[in-house]
Amino acid sequence: MERKAGNIGHDAAALVLGIETSCDETACAVLDGAGVVRAELVASQIADHAPFGGVVPEIAARAHLAALGPMVASVLRTAGVRAADVSAVAATVGPGLIGGLIIGGGFAKGMALATGADFYAINHLEAHALTARLPGLSAVPPAFPYVLLLVSGGHTALIAVEGVGRYRQLGTTLDDAAGEAFDKVAKLLGLAYPGGPALELLAAEGDAARFALPRPMLGRSGCDFSFSGLKTAVAQLVAARPAGALDREDAAAIAASFQAAVVATMADRLAHALAMMPSASGVVVAGGVAANQAIRTGLRAVAARTGHALFAPPLRLCTDNATMVAWAAIERARAGLGPDALATPCRPRWPLDMTAQSFIAGRRVSVSV
């Protein structure tokens, strides 16, 4: 089929549809070639997964399948455009839960094939990495190179963002991701799913100095993280309390102490990353855990102390969304990367830095490719 007119990298009037289905949020958005958001929509699956205390992949995939078609139709109507008007369709094809990736990626490929639009296969982590550059979020968007702190339920890493498609891992978690640690500690405290936001609210009531919890990796060389020991320390603290439900004052103090330990660790690791990358123009924090205000405050202090600006997307763009997916496609098009072949596979594991030793070592024991 002949390609339709409209280069999303150089034509402000071109339209790109973004689709995100990597975990437990179904999202779609329409942006023009200048990065202006024409419409965006997100459907959460929290109610579907809450009875199980976490995301169930099969339930997530079925929910994406049921929601995606009507949501795309709705977001196109809101934007005042037809499917035939879209110049490119961008979808997250990794990393994430394979069922959801196949549904979102397959829908995008089918739409591209039917309409003649270009297809962009987007790395979910790259979408987070570039979100802060979306026009209108700051007076002067972050310029390359910058340091990215990516913090979410499945990822915690410090990355040198040297350009679109050019990423170098400075450090990563050796065990739990930050969001995973938040959720596990929240469960220990008896908080409902999703645990991270609930723990942040509870921590606001507590005395962060009441319990002395470890600061994993604090002061060590490099930029790696570790949260497993901190989680274990909280578990031991909870186990030492009287049997039954925790007293709210105790629970709030534990939550506050845990959060303070995470903030201190992240601030220390970020300081090391900035020392390793003196050419950095600033710091970008992205991912679902970046919505935590205590973490933002701690990182902002480090950035200010070292003479760097901190860029943090608005809360709606920290959690999974399709606006960042569409914007990543525009960034890639401007850099001459893409469009991608319709045969591009979905990838449950897809790090930004394919040369990172943590990824290479993981591949030796992983059944996922």
**Residue 196 marked in a binding site:** yes
Structure tokens that stand for 24 in this block: 């437990």
Inter-CA distances, 226 with 223, 229, 266, Å: 10, 7, 10
**Residue 7 marked in a binding site:** no
**Residue 24 marked in a binding site:** no
**Residue 247 marked in a binding site:** no
For tokens 């190179």, the residue is: 145
Give the start-end residues of each E strand in 13-155.
15-20, 25-32, 37-44, 88-94, 118-123, 146-151
**Residue 205 marked in a binding site:** no
**Residue 151 marked in a binding site:** yes
Residue 291 · residue 178 · CB < 8 Å: no
Residue 310 · residue 173 · CB < 8 Å: no
The SS3 assignment for 148 reads strand
Long-range contacts of 139-144 (CB under 8 A, 24+ apart): 141/311, 142/281, 142/282, 142/284, 142/309, 142/311, 143/281, 143/282, 144/281
**Residue 162 marked in a binding site:** no
**Residue 207 marked in a binding site:** no
Give the start-end residues of each E strand in 263-358.
282-286, 309-311
**Residue 65 zone, left/alpha/beta (φ > 0; ψ -120 to 50; rest):** alpha
**Residue 124 marked in a binding site:** yes
**Residue 331 marked in a binding site:** no
**Residue 150 marked in a binding site:** yes
**Residue 154 marked in a binding site:** yes
Annotated binding site for Fe cation, which residues? 124, 128, 320
Annotated binding site, which residues? 124, 128, 150-154, 183, 196, 200, 292, 320
Annotated binding site for substrate, which residues? 150-154, 183, 196, 200, 292
